[in-house]
Structure 1
Amino acid sequence: MQKLAASLREDILSGAYQLGAKLPSEAALTESHEVSRTVVREAIASLRSDGLVEARQGAGVFVISQSMPSSSMLKSFSPNKISSIIELLELRTAVEVEAAALAAKRRSPAQEGAILEACGEMRALIEVGESTVEADFEFHMAIAAATNNRRFSEFLELMGNRVIPRQRLESSEEEAATRRYLQQILAEHEKICRAISDQDEKGARDAMRLHLEGSGNRYRELLR
C-alpha cells in the first residue's frame, strides 16, 4: 500500500496529475500496479488523508491539491501505540456521536443508500476474509456526508483511514478471534444504520456512542 501511495503522491506533486484531474479507476490501478483492490483503496485513503484527493460518489477520485499540508492535525499520533488509539477514539466520539444524530435527522434517500451500501460492503469483505479498513472508513464518511454539514466530512478526511486503527488486528494470526471481532463491529454498524434509516436521532446517537466507546474499551483491555 505504501509503495502505491508514494507513487501516486509523487505523480500528483510533480504535476503528472493536474489539479482537478481524475485518477485512474480502481480496476485500472489494480491492473497497472499488479496489486489487490484492497491495496488500491488504502492507498487512495492515504492520499485523502494528505488532502491531495477527494472521492466523489459515482464519479471517481479527483486531485484537489498539489502540495502537502505544512502540518498535520495528528502529527503525534502513533498507530502502534494503544494509548494513541484510545485518545483518537475519544476525539471521534466527541464528533461522530452528534454526526450520527444529524445524519438521522437530515439524510436524503441517496445518502441513506450510501450508508447502507458501505455497511453491506463491509459484510461482504468479512465473508471473503479481506481487509475491511477502507469499507469501515467509507461507512463513517457516508454518515458524515449525510449530516449535510461538510465540516464533519472534512474532519474525517483530515484524519484519513487512521481513524480505523485495527490493521494490526487484521494481520493477526488469530483468524477466528479477528473474525469474531469484525462480526461485532458489523453488528454495531448495522444498529447505527437502522437508527439512521428510521430517522431516530437518539437511537443513532446512542448506537454510535456504544460503537466508539466499545472500541475504546476493547483497546483498554489490550493495554491492560
Structure 2
Amino acid sequence: MTGRMTSRAKGAGSLVAQVSERLRKDILDGVYAPGARLPSELELTEAHGVSRTVIREAVTGLRYDGLVEVRQGAGIFVLDHQSRATPPKLDRARLSSDLEVLEIRTPLEIEAAGLAALRRSPAQEEAIFDCHAKVLECIEADQSIRLADFALHKAIAAATNNPLFTQFLDMHGAAAIPQSKTVADNRTAEQTAYRRLIHREHQAVVVAISDGDEKAARSAMQEHLRGSQLRYRDLLRDLRGLGSDA
C-alpha cells in the first residue's frame, strides 16, 4: 500500500512539475506578457492533457515564484516578474503529497510521543530539549524552522527506542514537515506569529515527555499534528484561490 501511494504521489508530482515548467517558460519567454490573462483552468487542462488538480498545483508553484496572481472571478494574470524580487521557492511537486505524509505521520507520532514519555533516557530527554531550543533560535533569527522542526520530531522518535519510528521520518526527510506560506516583507510578523504557535504546541509535547506523562504527551502531539493538517488545508485553499471560471 505504501509503495503504491508513493508511486502515485511521484507520478502526480512529475506532471505538476512538467506543466509548471512549460508555463514558466512561456511566461519568461514573453508568450504571456505581464498583465496578460492565462488561459482558463479548463483550457489549460485540455491543452496539457492533465487533470484540473495538476493545473491547480502548477499554478500554485507559479504563484510562489511571483510569476502570476489569481484574481477571484477574473482568472490568472501574469505579473511583472522582472520588477519583482523572487520569493523563496518551495518544492512544488510535494504540495499535494505533503498532506498525505502528514496524515500518515499523525497516528504514528501520537504513539511515538506516548512511548517517548515512558522510555526516554536522560540523554534523549536532553536532546529533545536542545532541539526544542533550536526551533526558538530560528524564530528569534527570523529563519525557517523547518529543519529544526524536523530534528525535534526525530529526537522524539528516537526516544521511543524503536528504530522504526525514526526510519519512517528518515524515509521522507524534512519533506515530512509541511511547507509554510511565504509572505511579503510587510507581513513577517504574521509568519513569526505562526512559528511561535508551532513552538508553543511543541512545548506542550516536550514538557509532557519530560514529565513522563504518556497521556498528556499523546494528547499534545495529537493537537499539534491535527492542527497542522487543518492549517495546511487552509494554506492549499488559499494558494489555489481559483474561481470556477479561472
TM-score in same-fold range (> 0.5): yes
Give the share of equivalent positions with the same residue, in percent. 47
AA matched with 1:188 = E
User: What amino acid sits opposite 1:122 in the alignment?
Assistant: V
User: 2:200 aligned with 1:172, yes or no?
Assistant: no
Matching residue within 116, 140, 152 for 1:127: 140
Deviation, 1:82, is: 4.6
CA distance in 1, matches of 2:150, 2:206: 14
Secondary structure, in 3 states, of the residue corresponding to 1:156? Answer: helix
Q: Give the C-alpha shift of residue 178 in structure 1.
A: 0.9
User: Which residue pairs with 2:219 in the alignment?
Assistant: 206
Question: Hey, what does 1:59 align to over in structure 2?
Answer: none
Query: Which residue in the other structure is 2:157 paired with?
Result: 144
Q: Which residue of 2 aligns with 1:87?
A: 100
**Contiguous gaps of at least 5 residues in structure 1:** 1-70
C-alpha separation in 2, matches of 1:92 and 1:172: 27
Does the 8 Å CA contact 2:117/2:217 hold for their aligned counterparts? yes
Q: Which has the larger radius of gyration?
A: 2
Deviation by residue 1:17-51 (Cα, 9 ceiling, x = unmatched): xxxxxxxxxxxxxxxxxxxxxxxxxxxxxxxxxxx
Paired residue for 2:131?
118
1:32-51 equivalence runs, <5 A: none
Q: Residues of 1 paired with 2:95 and 2:132: CA distance?
A: 26
Q: Is the 8 A contact 2:147 2:174 kept in 1?
A: yes
- Superposition TM-score, scaled by structure 1 size: 0.63
Counterparts of 1:219 and 1:112, CA distance in 2: 29
1:172 alignment partner AA? V
1:29-68 to 2 correspondence within 5 Å? Answer: none
Structure 2 unaligned runs (5+)?
14-90, 238-246
Tell me the equivalent position of 1:32: none
Equivalent residue letter for 1:84: S
Query: Does the 8 A contact of 1:191 with 1:207 survive in 2?
Result: yes
Instruction: Report the AA paired with residue 127 of structure 1.
Output: E
The alpha carbon displacement at 1:73 in A equals 7.4
TM-score calculated relative to the size of structure 2: 0.58
| Counterparts of 1:98 and 1:127, CA distance in 2 | 31
CA deviation vs aligned residue, 1:172-208 (integer Å, no higher than 9, x gap): 3231111111000000000000000000001000100
**2:178–2:232 contact (8 Å) kept in structure 1:** no
CA distance in 2, matches of 1:152, 1:202: 19
Cα distance, 1:72 vs. partner? Answer: 9.9
Q: How many aligned residue pairs are there? A: 152
- Counting only pairs closer than 5 Å after superposition, residues 5-44 of structure 1 correspond to structure 2 as none
Alpha-carbon contact 2:116-2:156 (below 8 Å) kept = yes
CA contact (8 A) 1:133 1:161 kept: yes
**Secondary structure of 2:183's aligned partner:** coil
Displacement of 1:83: 3.9
Could you say which residue in structure 2 is the equivalent of 1:215? 228
